[in-house]
């Protein structure tokens, strides 16, 4: 199993939980020290677990990296595309380069990893691709147009991929976490978050992903927030007015 964004947050919590259950996990992230700490915890229960240090914003390196991970793990049963970066900024203040940087990590990296590994999964006739999007992949969030664009793209990609791969032996799952208590809320180069409501722990979300891995369904909200998305879809104009109102004193 290969997990991206495994040095902290949901990725780290998921890696530790899977390793505790005996799974061999490959960890991928850009922060060596943090990643090594997670790996050390995983190897207490799963000694064959390993890690790769890489920046998924470097698009040219993603394909070769996927092959290294496949070879190093002796094949990948499950690919969990979890890595993501935030971008909180009102759309009128965004630079195109900022949006493109978010897309490289949040959408193009999982796309490239998937396309690099998919032929080998298909040749073997079995595998699972798990894309961790966000409720922001179904809802337009105030001051998060770049982030939401990347997550909407990941949702559409994942849904269409599930259609294309139906019946092939490759299972595709879409995970949509709500607000999670991670360092994504406190990142340089981002405006202060407007949302100040409850957040869920990475461990809670990781447990939801574990449950999704064993479930037959395609789409999983962790925690369950589908009712909010359904409400938006039922009356998009009311949703836009209400969401915009969050920025007003």
- Kindly list the distances between the CA atom of residue 179 and the CA atoms of 119, 133, 174, 195, 230, in Å, as whole numbers in the listed order: 34, 12, 16, 9, 18
Locate 83 and state its tokens: 């890595």
- With contact defined as beta carbons under 8 Å apart, do 169 and 126 qualify? yes
| Nearest alpha carbon to residue 135 among 19, 222, 39 | 222
Catalytic member of 147, 195, 221, 239: 147
Q: What is the dihedral of CA 131, 184, 85, 216, to 10 degrees?
A: 0
89-83-142 Cα angle (round to 5) = 25
Of 99, 106, 104, give the one whose Cα is nearest residue 58. Answer: 104
Look up 147 and say whether it is catalytic: yes
Which residues are paired to 50 by β-bridges? Answer: 26
Query: Are the C-beta atoms of 10 and 82 separated by less than 8 Å?
Result: yes
Location of structure tokens 């919590």 = 13
- Residues serving a catalytic function are 147
């Amino acid at each position: 199993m290969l997990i991206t964004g495994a040095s902290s947050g949901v990725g780290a919590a998921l890696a530790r939980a899977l390793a505790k259950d005996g799974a061999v996990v490959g960890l991928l992230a850009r922060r060596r020290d943090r990643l090594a700490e997670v790996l050390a915890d995983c190897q207490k229960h799963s000694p064959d677990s390993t890690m790769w240090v890489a920046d998924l914003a470097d698009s040219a390196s993603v394909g070769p990296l996927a092959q290294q991970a496949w070879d190093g793990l002796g094949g990948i049963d499950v690919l969990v595309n979890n890595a993501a970066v935030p971008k909180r900024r009102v759309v009128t203040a965004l630079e195109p380069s900022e949006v493109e940087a978010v897309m490289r990590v949040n959408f193009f990296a999982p796309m490239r990893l998937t396309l690099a590994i998919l032929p080998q999964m298909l040749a073997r006739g079995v595998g699972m691709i798990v894309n961790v999007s966000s409720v922001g992949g179904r809802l337009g969030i105030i001051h998060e147009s770049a982030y939401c664009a990347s997550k909407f793209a990941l949702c559409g990609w994942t849904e269409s991929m599930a259609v294309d791969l139906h019946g092939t032996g490759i299972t595709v799952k879409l995970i949509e976490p709500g607000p999670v208590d991670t360092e994504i809320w406190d990142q340089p180069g981002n405006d202060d978050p407007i949302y100040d409501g409850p957040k869920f722990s990475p461990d809670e979300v990781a447990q939801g992903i574990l449950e999704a891995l064993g479930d037959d369904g395609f789409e999983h909200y962790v925690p369950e927030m589908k009712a909010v998305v359904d409400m938006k879809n039922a009356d998009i104009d009311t949703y836009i007015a209400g969401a915009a109102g969050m920025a007003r004193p």
